[in-house]
Amino acid sequence: MIIIIIIIFCESMNRKSKQREAIIRVLRGTTSHPSAEWIYEQVKKEIPNIGLATVYRNLRLLKEAGEVSEMHTSNDTARFDGNTDVHYHFRCDRCGKILDLAEPIDATIETRIARSTGLKVTRHHLELGGLCLECQNLEIHTDNGLQR
């Protein structure tokens, strides 16, 4: 039974559907880490009859296949990233924007943690938080008595 499910999953991932290709194209064409709803609105421009459930289903398949990654915002909204290379993120505490950081990856952190704790580390995720440039500018204008 499990083997049949795995075979069906592999076959469905190998069968690059028009919808899946459009979803990947949209995701890889942005660095904004969009929600499924935003992806749906963009793909719908190309494939008008696509349903939101189809987008969610394909995002799940793409995530399971390692083609996209998923992260959650503070209000638990799923956001998606088409950049599957290891990289760090910055999340704005005010507006929720997620930015990719072009900083070098600390390749030794997993080994150091494993050595010092005895844990078997298989992955890590680093996300910094604070205020993005736009929100900092809003804060400066507000502090100076200017209105938003």
In this prediction, residue 96 has a pLDDT band, given cuts at 50, 70 and 90, of confident
If phi > 0 it is left, if psi is from -120 to 50 it is alpha, else beta; for residue 33 that is left
Residue 35: which of 98, 75, 92, 77 has the closest Cα? Answer: 77
CATH code of the domain made up of 1-84: 1.10.10.10
**Domain spans, the chain:** 1-84, 85-148
Task: Give the pTM.
Answer: 0.72
115-142 per-position pLDDT tens digit: 999 999 988 888 899 999 999 998 877 7
Residue 35: which of 52, 12, 13, 21 has the closest Cα? Answer: 52
Measure the CA–CA gap between 141 and 147, rounded to whole angstroms: 7
Residue 71: which of 57, 94, 87 has the closest Cα? Answer: 87
User: What homologous superfamily does CATH list for 85-148?
Assistant: Ferric-uptake regulator, C-terminal dimerisarion domain (3.30.1490.190)
35-88 per-position pLDDT tens digit: 999 999 999 999 999 999 999 999 999 999 999 999 887 777 899 999 988 889
